Amino acid sequence: MTLDTTQETPSEEVQDDDVHKEYHQDLAFQPKANRIGLWMFIFSEVFLFGAFLSARYFSVGTLKPEELNQTLALILTIVLLVSSISAYLAETSIRFNHRRNFIIFTVFTILMGLVFMGGVAIEIREALHLYPPGTPYGTTYFMLIGLHAFHVVTGLIGLAIILVLGMKGHFGSRDYWGVEGVVKYWHFVDLAWVIIYPTLYLF
Amino acid sequence: MTANQLALDHDALKKATRKGVIAALLLGVLTVVEFYVAINLEDPLFALMPFILAKGWIILDSFMHIRALFSEDH
């Protein structure tokens, strides 16, 4: 009688099960690691925005041109705040498996983001005539507006990706990290504007 | 999912939604007041600081859930 050496002994099976369970426990902890990673990324972004913001005070102090379009800037600030609450509601909806609401709020957030970008385009067109990039204020203005607009565009791309994935049935109450990550990034874009807006328009 | 669980979920959803809407309303009011303070003061740098800090904290706490980073059960 020959012994089948390929067959696993019961103890080996138990060991395999343990490894399997451990692997799945690791996956369960993954969102926590992801969150820490995202926060580290956000902190690194704070330094980037901080450098650009300090450049404004270093080069021109709190000096600002009289021609700034205050009304448009206020409207854009409100638009971005509205987009933040709709992004929050999109995340909350998917956390509770309300896919239809998630899609509606994500589409609304994207629309608000596009409106914001349209307003920024108008501002940039006006700024090119009133305080061109070569002037001290113009340089810091275009640096800050450009950096922030770039983040809005990347946020919109992220929102479009989660929208498409959500429409295909991805994400749910137990797996919404993708949505959470993009929405957190969108809130960071809003947070950055909370500081950029008074820096450029109000001080 | 039991009916009890569904009811709990519905309550949690309502609570989370209410929290977000209150935060957004606060942000809106602070933004408008900030604007009026800025256009009515000669040098509004220090007068606007509380508004910036309050708005920043509301976004970090209510929308970005920064406190959850330090909680064990999150």
Q: Is B67 a residue whose pLDDT tops 90?
A: no
Which phi and psi (to 5°) does residue A172 adopt?
-175, -170
Best probe of the B interface among A32, A40, A68, A81, by most B CBs < 10 A, is: A81
Give the per-residue pLDDT at A56. 87
Give the per-residue pLDDT at A1. 47
Q: Is B73 a residue whose pLDDT tops 80?
A: no
Task: Using CA atoms of B32, B61, A120, A196 in order, give the dihedral in degrees to the nearest 10.
Answer: 80
Q: Compare CB distances from A81 to B31, B38, B39 and report the shortest one's residue.
A: B31
Higher pLDDT, A184 or B16: A184
Higher pLDDT, B45 or A6: B45
Give the per-residue pLDDT at A33. 83
Q: Which residues contact residue A27 at a Cβ distance below 8 angstroms, ignoring those fewer than 6 apart?
A: none
Residues of A in contact with B74 (CB under 8 A): 32, 35
Give the per-residue pLDDT at A172. 85
Residue where the block lists tokens 């009515």: B40
Higher pLDDT, B8 or A36: A36
Q: What is the pLDDT of residues A133-191, one digit of tens each?
A: 888 888 889 999 999 999 999 999 999 999 999 999 888 888 888 999 999 999 999 99
| Rounded Cα distance, A40 and B2, in Å | 39
Query: CB-based contact (8 Å) between A177 and chain B?
Result: no
Q: Comparing A32-36, A44-48, B20-24, B47-51, which segment has the lowest mean pLDDT?
A: A32-36
Gyration radius of chain B over CA positions: 18
Best probe of the B interface among A42, A78, A194, A196, by most B CBs < 10 A, is: A194
Residue ranges in chain A whose pLDDT is less than 70: 1-29
Q: Is B23 a residue whose pLDDT tops 70?
A: yes
| Rounded Cα distance, B63 and A88, in Å | 6
Quote the distance between the C-alpha of residue B50 and its chain's center: 15
Query: CB-based contact (8 Å) between A95 and chain B?
Result: yes
Give the per-residue pLDDT at A23. 54
Q: What is the mean pLDDT of chain B?
A: 86
Decide if B56 and A195 are in contact by the 8 Å CB cutoff: yes
